[in-house]
Every structure is written in C-alpha cells, then in structure tokens.
C-alpha cells in the first residue's frame, strides 16, 4: 500500500485535511465522540448524509476516508 503524507492515499489525506480544517465540517463531527451513544460507525453514517459527495478539490467522502479522518477522537 502506498502512503500519501502519512495517510493510505491522496483521497484519505485530502478528506482528513478538509474535515479537520474547514470550520463548518469540523463542527459537524468533533462533538460526536463526547456522547457514548454515538459510535464511530454512527458518526460516519451521519457525516455521509451531511457532507457533499466530494471535497472542493475532488476527494470523495467515502466511509473509510471519513472513518480514518475522525477515528482518533473515539480512541481517547
């Protein structure tokens, strides 16, 4: 597997970059890990509904890329 800036692919890196740096998209997910009833899987599902299909520069918001981008919040 090739790596891109420490991520598994350009798509995973780009999704992570946008989810952590766009204030509106960050606000969509960062609070979810504080609630035990919201699992990582549930958060990913919610984000797939709330986010557009792609980032402004073309990376696809797919379940794996979203999960990899936000999972550290659930590993506290």
pTM (2 d.p.): 0.93
Give the pLDDT mean for 50-76: 96
Listed in sequence order, the residues at least 6 apart from 43 whose beta carbon sits closer than 8 Å to its beta carbon are: 29, 32, 33, 70, 74
pLDDT at res. 1: 59
Domain ranges of the chain: 10-75
Find the mean pLDDT for residues 40-66: 98
What is the rounded average pLDDT of the residues 65-70? 98
Residue 39, pLDDT score: 97
Mean pLDDT of the chain: 95
Q: What's the pLDDT score for residue 61?
A: 98
What residues does 22 pair with on adjacent strands?
A: none
Write the DSSP string, the chain: ---BTTBSSHHHHHHHHHHHH-HHHHHHHTTGGGSTTS-HHHHHHHHHHHS-SB-TTS-B--HHHHHHHHGGGGG-
């Amino acid at each position: 597997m090739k790596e891109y800036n420490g991520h598994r692919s350009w798509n995973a890196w780009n999704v992570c970059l946008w989810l952590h740096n766009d204030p509106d998209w960050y606000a969509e997910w960062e609070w979810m890990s504080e609630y035990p009833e919201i699992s990582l899987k549930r958060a990913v599902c919610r984000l797939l509904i709330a986010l557009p299909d792609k980032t402004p520069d073309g990376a696809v918001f797919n379940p794996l890329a979203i999960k990899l981008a936000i999972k550290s919040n659930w590993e506290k």
